[in-house]
Amino acid sequence: MKFISTRGQASALSFEDVILTGLASDGGLYLPEVIPQFSTTDIEAMRGLPYNELAFKIMAPFVDGEVSDVDLKDIIDRSYATFRHDAIAPLVQTGHNEFILELFQGPTLAFKDFALQFLGNLLDFILEKRQQKVVIMGATSGDTGSAAIEGCRHCKHVDIFILHPHKRVSEVQRRQMTTVIEDNVHNIALEGNFDDCQNMVKASFADQSFLPEGRQLVAVNSINWARIMAQIVYYFYAGVAVGSPARKVSFSVPTGNFGDIFAGYLASRMGLPIDQLVIATNQNDILHRCISRNDHSPQPLEHSLSPSMDIMVSSNFERMLFDLHGRDGNVIAKLMEASKSGSITLSDDALARARELFSSYRLNDDEVLEVIAQVYDRTEYLLDPHTAIGVQAARKTRRNKAVPMICLATAHPAKFPEAIQKAGCHDPVLPHHMSDLFDRKEHYQVLDNDIALVHRFISKNIHE
């Protein structure tokens, strides 16, 4: 299996190389050259499989033997052994043909654990084999950082630096990152918003001259292919649980960076019969505006009660554009160059193709609070603010009520107590393994939005 850049100019890479590379040399994102296919018979055989076994079946074609089957199974088993629920991704019914897919059963209570526990173990395997040391630099709007730190804190070949927007993540999210006291873990609170953090990471990948000789940056954001690959699994897991492939299934996905829902798109491409994918956004609604009225113009970023979606530059949307434009890297390169000066406009054909599968909806903070309160009143099920956006978006855009609608619960409500309290619900309780979170010592560095300053901090703190 080879992996190609969305912009068409970079060399194709092997699986292991693409995991260590992040952005392509031409600035694009990597995708598999060929999308693996599963037949109806293949998907029927997935019914009843434990999560780990299903994960192996989905991932193995992408790995294509570069990691042996025995080692891949071991990496998967170790990755999901840290989850608190035996089902790994349990389904809960909240309405007629409406289900919540709980993706917060991992160690940091967010869906990012599915990919980053796996990526941490995979990096450990690859780097040990190569006897190579790397530097992880990542940006987080709240959940990626803690999941990446938890997944990589024990990696002896990795120094990890995570940038989060200062005072723009919840206190629980911040403490999950900053209370991990390890020699190889460094948290940077950047004076700016998430897009500032993400832009700095992208610029650093483009020019890595600030690193010591022999070191390279590795991505943990969803530009890393391993993250998308691991997320495809739970779409198949949930789909077969409600009757696929005999029944179609729909998903509603709270999304800011487009990685999670792009994994759903790939599941569809691989054979899962998905009827509808709902792009659910908060008031930072560039993805909703793009799908609903072909308006992909950046607007000022607003701080919201769903901070993990406070994103205006959705990196993974480029992967979607690549497919919508016939996988023509030259077209994407021109689109991305044009986007630097403003908006992207999709062609009529590309937009029509997108709308065949995708719908979209946006909620503001007041509407989010109403949904949290309403769902709790009727079901006693407590939604976090991101999941609430997914539930209401599903209800407002649903095309066929006979098709099961699965709403992805991307985080545990205890990560966002401010929103839960404002909705008039009881204070959410942290799981017992995190009950002392507010008593733990924090360690992080507040830095100005200055790339030279950040680079000096990183180079000074890399271990020999």
CA distances from residue 141 to 39, 168, 195, 257, 362 in whole angstroms, order as listed: 37, 8, 9, 10, 18
Cα–Cα distance for residue pair 47/66, rounded to 1 Å: 27
Annotated catalytic residue 112: yes
Cα–Cα distance for residue pair 291/360, rounded to 1 Å: 7
- Side-chain-facing half-sphere of 356: CA atoms under 13 Å: 9
Cα–Cα distance for residue pair 158/462, rounded to 1 Å: 9
Vertex 444: Cα angle to 439 and 445 (nearest 5): 150
* φ and ψ of 297, to 5 deg: -85, 135
Q: In the beta sheet, which residues pair with residue 279?
A: 253, 360
Q: In the beta sheet, which residues pair with residue 185?
A: 160
Strand, coil or helix: what is 379? helix
CA distances from residue 376 to 368, 379, 389 in whole angstroms, order as listed: 12, 5, 14
Q: Which of the 8 DSSP states describes residue 296?
A: B
Vertex 280: Cα angle to 278 and 285 (nearest 5): 125
Torsion sign, CA atoms 380, 383, 388, 392: negative
Choosing from 2, 57, 73, 112, the catalytic residue is: 112
Give the active site residues: 112
